[in-house]
Amino acid sequence: MDEGNGRARLAIIACEILKPELEKLTEGWDDVVHKEYLEFALHINPEDLRAKVLDKVNALQGKADAVFLGYATCQSLSGITAHLKVPTVMLDGDDCIAAVLGPVEYARQKSLCGGTWFNTPGWALRGIDGAIKELHLDSMVDQGYEPKYFLDMLFENYERCLYVDTDVGDGERYERLSRKFAEELGLRHENRPCGTANLAKFLVRAREMARANASKAQ
């Protein structure tokens, strides 16, 4: 995807869950002047996520011509681009899985099996610990309740783990980790080839915005 001419300044602020895909998509892009991956599961505290995104993007005013925001709405980011000081393109959908699969396919997969845990490469890397953090199951450790206690109860309502294969990096390793996650929780494991096209279209849109704004400034 190396189409750049190096004149525009594109910045990337994204959730670290999407790092494997974004690193592949932007390989060789010399117009990326800033790239930062924020800790995953910040959406557990929606107000904090929104405040952090506002701070990170607005700090790039005068340093970037456009920003690619590697987040979907994630409970708190709906309409946030209107409040940012740098022109920004964000992802479509309610969460990162919808952004990767596309909202239509995401809804279809959930209709096929409502009790589905979705693993992308980024989620597969984090395994059980990632699920505990995502579901905020470590909040009662100080009261003597181990996260695994709640995890086992919660996953009684799940039937499968769907690995969303975006074809990045060490794919065999990511799928192996996803299968391990499924085995530990007693879920059947399935693989859904996906690629990065849904992410790429928004990333390219941000890049084109950066170029257009750079041209206006000349």
Q: Which two tokens stand for residue 119?
A: 């693993």
Q: Is the pLDDT of residue 1 over 50?
A: no
Mean pLDDT confidence for 77-90: 97
Considering the segment(s) 10-95+196-217 as one domain, its CATH architecture is 3-Layer(aba) Sandwich (3.40)
Q: What is the model's pLDDT at position 135?
A: 86
Mean pLDDT confidence for 146-166: 91
Q: Is the pLDDT of residue 5 over 80?
A: no
Q: How confident is the model at residue 3 (pLDDT cuts 50, 70, 90)?
A: very low
| pLDDT tens-digit map of 14-38 | 999 999 999 999 999 999 999 999 9
Mean pLDDT confidence for 201-208: 98
Report the percentage of the chain scoring pLDDT > 70: 95
Mean pLDDT confidence for 55-67: 98
| pLDDT tens-digit map of 163-184 | 999 999 899 999 999 999 999 9
DSSP states of 69-136: EE---TTT-TTGGGG-SS-EEE--SSSHHHHHH-HHHHHHHHHH-SSEEEE-HHHHHHHHHHHHHHTT
Mean pLDDT confidence for 178-196: 97
Q: How confident is the model at residue 142 (pLDDT cuts 50, 70, 90)?
A: low
Bridge partner list, 116: 160
3-class SS at 12?
Answer: strand
Ranges of each domain in the chain: 10-95+196-217, 97-193
Mean pLDDT confidence for 141-160: 84
